[in-house]
Amino acid sequence: MSSTAAAPAGAGIRNYAIVTAAYWGFTLTDGALRMLVLLHFFRLGYSPFTLAFLFLLYEAAGIGANLIGGWLATRFGIARMLAVGLATQMAGFLMLSAVSPGWAAALSVAWVVAAQGVCGVAKDLTKTASKSAIKLIHDGTFGAAADSRLRASPPGDRTPGAAPGRLFRWVAFFTGSKNAMKGAGFFLGGLLLESLGFRGALWAMAAMLALVLAGVALSLPPMMGRAKASRSAKELFAKNAGVNLLAAARVFLFGARDVWFVVGLPVFLYASGWTFTMVGGFLAVWTIGYGVIQASAPAVVRRSADGLSAEVPAARAWSLALALVPVALAAMMLAGVPRPDLFVPAGLCVFGVLFAVNSSVHSYLVLAYAGSEKAAEDVGFYYAANAAGRFAGTLLSGLLYAWAGLEACLLGAAAMLALCWAVTLRLPLQREARTA
């Protein structure tokens, strides 16, 4: 039994607000870090493939960090793992700030890759803890354990679909606002790089996270989310069909985004005459807009009383629509349509709307399928797949762009999205027990 039993609604919403605010602070610095590293080392003359290589360990570390982080959050408590993630990010910033211009290129690359790996671990420990906390807080406040309170609540909150609808809104707001913060982080990274320099920017962000860490330590119950963790690898990987299939779809969904977003698009825009400020500003505005739409997804996706019968078909339809966008953009580029530096960003805006709704629906569905007792393990498994997709997309972004330009990146994205859609066709329409 989880140590977080049914809690008063006020306390549950308070804990949700604290977790969300802490993840905002983390994501702001994480987005700034991505822009700092990309712009700083591109300015130093690093090639597109080398830039992609700098981020590979950041993404690869997340695969193990999510799996282990989910187990650790169940074993030692979600609040503790949230604090560990914040502290690890601070350590990664300080390690990265030690890079010296006098070092040999090979040593610099190796050091940056290692520091990025530390930050990748931090990101996914924090993400797993935060997303698991939402499931835990929601179920402890509004779930089965709170049935007696719900019976006494206003009629609008006693409908069969009230709890799934509320969970969808919470997840959508959390995920959307997080991505808006990440977009603001892109702008912050460029601003700090210009005003404080590479090392000064990293020190300033470490100080910011120290304040966030202090707030988490003083505000959240340290044992929140602690439960009986899996005792074997077989038990840890015993997920229900919904979680397994969503994890597979997540690999292709986020691989399709990063295969053209991480390296291909920024380098293409810069090579087309855009300045660093224009590239960073556009990516910041795009990410903020993407986050706003993500938070608004419950308003455009029909919801069902059981939380799955309308949401699963929505995941299938939005995945198919998304796959058509990179196909259209690649066809326009191959046909020689003038000014690709204008229509590609416009197409990316359409892509962002569809991708935001897809991501929001998927983020909700994994919590809908996950069990409450070991939600952290289920969420960690799911986001390990997310990290695997980002790793593949990041690697392919550098390789495909170096091989055949942005057109190859777009076609790679289309292929991945077609696979994502095919996987969603098998998603179950009802919850199932954990199976080996």
Q: Give yes or no for residue 2 having a pLDDT over 50.
A: no
- Count of CB atoms within 10 A of residue 222's CB? 14
Contact of 92 with 62, CB cutoff 8 Å: no
Contact of 55 with 48, CB cutoff 8 Å: no
Rounded mean pLDDT of the chain? 80
Residues 6+ apart with CB under 8 A from 70: 128, 132, 376, 377, 378, 379, 380, 381
What whole-number distance in Å separates Cα of residue 1 and Cα of residue 3? 6
Q: Please give the pLDDT value at position 61.
A: 77
- The residue written with tokens 């920017």 in the block is 201
H, E, C per residue of 37-106: HHHHHHHCCCCHHHHHHHHHHHHHHHHHHHHHHHHHHHHHCHHHHHHHHHHHHHHHHHHHCCCCCCCCHH
Q: Please give the pLDDT value at position 237.
A: 56
Span 16-35, average pLDDT: 84
- pLDDT, one tens digit per residue, over 154-193 is 444 433 345 556 777 877 787 778 778 887 888 888 788 8
DSSP string, 351-420: HHHHHHHHHHHHHHHHHHHS-STTHHHHHHHHHHHHHHHHHHHHHHHHHHHHHHHHHHHHHHHHHHHHHH
- Count of CB atoms within 10 A of residue 3's CB? 13
DSSP string, 310-340: THHHHHHHHHHHHHHHHHHHHHHHHTT-S-H
Contact of 222 with 18, CB cutoff 8 Å: no
Tabulate helix, strand, coil % of the chain (nearest 5): 80, 0, 20
Q: Please give the pLDDT value at position 154.
A: 44
Instruction: State percent of the chain over pLDDT 90.
Output: 25
Q: Please, which pLDDT band fits residue 252 given cuts at 50, 70 and 90?
A: very high
Span 215-224, average pLDDT: 75
Out of 69-73, 241-245, 319-323, give the one with best mean pLDDT. 319-323
**Residue 365: which of 288, 290, 424 has the closest Cα?**
424
Q: Which residues of 391-412 are buried (b: 16+ CB within 10 A; e: fewer)?
A: bbbbbbbbbbbbeebbbbbbbb
Q: Please give the pLDDT value at position 145.
A: 44
Q: Please give the pLDDT value at position 12.
A: 62
**Residue 82: which of 29, 27, 129, 16 has the closest Cα?**
129
* pTM strictly above 0.85: no
Q: How many residues in the chain?
A: 436
The DSSP symbol for 165 reads H
By CB neighbour count within 10 A (0-12 exposed, 13-18 middle, 19+ buried), where does 317 fall? Answer: middle
